[in-house]
Structure 1
Amino acid sequence: MTSFDALLLLSFGGPEGPDDVLPFLENVTRGRNIPRARLEKVGEHYHLFGGVSPINQQCRELKAAIEADFAAHGVDLPVYWGNRNWTPYLADTVRQMTADGVRRAAAFVTSAYSGYSTNDQYLNDIARAREEVPGAPEIDKLPVYCGRPGFIEPFVDAARDALSRLQGDVRLVFTAHSVPLSQPNYELYVAELEQTARTVAEKAAPGTPWDLVYQSRSGSPDQPWLEPQITDHLEKLRGEGVRAVAAVPVGFVSDHMEVKYDLDVEAAGRAAELGIAFARAATPGAAPRFAALPRELLAEVGALPARTTGETG
C-alpha cells in the first residue's frame, strides 16, 4: 500500500485583481509568442468581472470542503494548495510541503479528464516544481475522475436545476474547452467527454435530446480545433426550431473565466439575439459530494493513512 502524508490540491490559478490580469495571461501563454494586443483583448473578459477570476476563491472553498470531509471521516491528512499559473504557485507550495516534512503526497487536480492539457500538463508541472525544490516530496497524481459519481452527481443535480428554469422542449447542450486536433490524446479526451455527457443526460433527463459542443477556442484560425463552438451551435439549433437550451459545462470543475465569460456573457448573449431561452448549469465547485472525491480516490488506491478512523464510506 502506498502511504501518503499529505494531499495536494492542484489547480490552474487565476488573477485576483486588475493588476494581476496581464501577468497571469503572460504566465499562461509563456513560450507561445502571443501578441500583447491579443492578451489585452482577452484581459477585457477579466476586467468585466473586476479583474478577478472566481477560480482561486473556489479553490479555497474546495480545500476547506475537502478538509471538512477528511475530518468527518477521520482522515488525518493535511491539505495543501498550489496553482500552475498564479499564486499560490505550485513550486512555492512544494517548498512549504518540504519544509513541513512531507515525504509523499497525492495530487488531486481540478481537471477531471485525460488528455494533454487536462492531465499530462499537470504531470509536467509537478515534475518541474519538484526539480526546483531540493528534497521535494514524491507527488503522485490521483486517477482521472470524470466517470466517478462524485463528479457526475453534482452535474446531474445542476442539469435538473437548469432544465427547471426553462419551459417547453429543451435541448441539453454540454460544453467543454476546445483543444487543437494536433494535441496528444485529444481522442481520449473527447471519448471521456461523450461518456460523461451521456451519463449526466440519462440520469438528469432521460429522453431529452443532447449535444456535446466546445468553447473557449484560441490560437490561429488556420489550426483545426474541436468543433462546433457553442455560439455556432446555437445558430444551428435556432434553424432547427429549438427555443430553449440548458448549457451544462461538463468539461469544467469550477467557474473558470471560460464559464463566466464564454457561457454567461457570450453564449447567453448570442442565445438572446437568436430568441433562445438559455440557462447555465452550475459546476461542482465545492459541493460536498465532489469534495468527497479525494478521500474516495485515496481509498481506491489503498492509500488512506493508517491513522484514519471512523466512517470511510
Structure 2
Amino acid sequence: MGNYDALLLLSFGGPEGPDDVMPFLENVVRGRGVPRERLLEVAEHYQSFGGVSPINGQNRDLIEALRPELDVPIYWGNRNWHPFGEDTVRRMKADGVRKAAVFATSAFAGYSSCRQYYEDIARISVEGGPELVKMRHFGDHPGFVAAMADHTRQALDRLGRDDARLVFTAHSIPVSMAETAGPSGGLYEAQLRRSAELVSRALGRDQPWELVWQSRSGPPQVPWLEPDVLDHLRKTSAPAVVLVPIGFVSDHMEVVFDLDVEARQLAAELGLPLERAATAGTHPAFVRMVGELMAEPEPVPCALTCCPAPVRRQA
C-alpha cells in the first residue's frame, strides 16, 4: 500500500451509552458557547436510541471489512469520544508505525468536513510518532459513487415506484462557511452536486434530482444552506421520494434521527411515499476504494488558508 505501514481511521466519535451522551456533546461544542438548553435538546435525540450513536459500530464494521483488503495494520481514533485520536497515535508510536495513511470519515471539502481533520492530525501527532498523511476528498471516487448508486437502487426497489424523485441530503453549514470552502470558495456544495450527478448518472436516470440540507444548528439569525429537508418535503410536487444521504459515509445520529425519524414521520403525515438509501457503510466498492486511495500518489495538503475556521460567537 504505497509507502504507508498503517492506516488510521479518523472519525467524529459518538456515545455508546446513556451516561456518555452529555460528556460527548460537551466535547463536540467545547469553545463554541452553545447554550446548555440546546445540548439537552440534542441529548434527547441520542437518548431516544438508548444513548448510542451508530457511528462507532459502523466504524468497527468498516475496519473488519478492510482487514482482508489491506496488508497493513488498521488503527481507529476519534475527535470527540473514545477511542480518542491522541491515545491511538501514542499506541501507533509504541507499535513502531512510521507513516500512516489517514482516512477521515468525511468525503468533501469544508471546515468541519476537511480542515478540522487536518487540525486533528496536527493536534494528535507526537514527537517521534508516525507521519500522518490525510487522504484526499473522495466524493467523486468510483467506489463511493458505486456504493451510493447501489444503495439508492435498492431503496428505489423497496419503494417500487418508477416516478420517485431522488432527494440528496447533506449536513447544512453556515453560508459564510460554504462560501469559503475550497481555494476559491463554494467547493463543499459543488462537490456534493457533482457526487449527486454521478450517482444519478450511474443509475441511468434522466429525471431531475434535488440537493437539500439537514441538521442545521446555531442561532436563527445566522444564514445556513437551504432548503431544509423537511421544508422541501412539505413543498415538493414529487409523487414519491428517495432520500439519499450523499453527505455522510455512515449512519451518524443526524441520519437516523433527521431522516429515519423526523422525515419519515412528516412523509407519513403528508401521505408521501418515502424510502431512505443506506450510506456507503461497508459496501464492497467503498471498502475497495480505501485501498485504492492508499495506492494513489501522496496527496498534496491543502493550503492553510483553505476552508478557514468559522468565527465563533460566544453566548
- Equivalent residue, structure 2, for 1:170: 164
1:260 maps onto 2:253 in alignment: no
Distance in 2 between the 1:189 and 1:302 partners? 22
Q: Structure 1 residues 176-185 or 53-62, which shifts more? A: 176-185
User: Displacement of 1:168 after TM fit?
Assistant: 5.2
- Equivalent residue, structure 2, for 1:206: 205
User: Of the candidates 239, 247, 251, which is equivalent to residue 251 of structure 1?
Assistant: 247
Q: Which amino acid aligns with 1:100?
A: D
Pairing 1:101-250 to 2, within 5 Å after superposition: 101-130=96-125, 133-166=126-159, 167=161, 169-183=163-177, 184-185=180-181, 187-237=186-236, 240=237, 242-250=238-246
Give the secondary structure class of the aligned counterpart of 1:246: strand
User: Displacement of 1:300 after TM fit?
Assistant: 1.6
Identity value in percent? 57
Residues 251-277 of structure 1 show CA distances to partners (whole Å, capped at 9, x for unaligned) of 000000000000000111111111101
Q: Which amino acid aligns with 1:51?
A: G
1:287 maps onto 2:283 in alignment: yes
* Equivalent pairs, count: 293
User: Displacement of 1:119 after TM fit?
Assistant: 0.7
Q: Which amino acid aligns with 2:41?
A: K
Is residue 7–residue 102 contact of structure 2 (8 Å, CA) maintained in 1? yes
- Equivalent residue, structure 2, for 1:310: none
User: Displacement of 1:36 after TM fit?
Assistant: 1.2
Residues 60-83 of structure 1 show CA distances to partners (whole Å, capped at 9, x for unaligned) of 01011111112xxxx3x1111001
Distance in 1 between the 2:251 and 2:44 partners? 17
Distance in 2 between the 1:65 and 1:244 partners? 34
- Equivalent residue, structure 1, for 2:67: 67
Residues 88-118 of structure 1 show CA distances to partners (whole Å, capped at 9, x for unaligned) of 0000000100111112111011101111111
Q: Which amino acid aligns with 2:201?
A: E
Normalised to the residue count of structure 2, the TM-score between the two structures is 0.90
Give the secondary structure class of the aligned counterpart of 2:8: strand
Q: Which amino acid aligns with 2:128?
A: G
Distance in 1 between the 2:259 and 2:104 partners? 23
Distance in 2 between the 1:258 and 1:2 partners? 35
Distance in 2 between the 1:168 and 1:270 partners? 22
User: Of the candidates 81, 86, 89, which is equivalent to residue 84 of structure 2?
Assistant: 89
Could you tell me which runs of 5 or more consecutive residues in structure 1 were left unpaired when the two chains were aligned: 304-313
Distance in 2 between the 1:12 and 1:89 partners? 10
- Equivalent residue, structure 1, for 2:273: 277
Distance in 2 between the 1:3 and 1:280 partners? 39
- Equivalent residue, structure 2, for 1:6: 6
Over 3 Å counting, the alpha-carbon distance change for 1:135 and 1:154 in structure 2 is same
Distance in 2 between the 1:145 and 1:203 partners? 16
Give the secondary structure class of the aligned counterpart of 2:101: strand
Q: Which amino acid aligns with 2:172?
A: S
Distance in 2 between the 1:245 and 1:301 partners? 40
Distance in 1 between the 2:206 and 2:235 partners? 21
Distance in 2 between the 1:98 and 1:168 partners? 54
Distance in 1 between the 2:295 and 2:131 partners? 19
Distance in 2 between the 1:50 and 1:42 partners? 13
Q: Structure 1 residues 121-130 or 161-170, which shifts more? A: 161-170
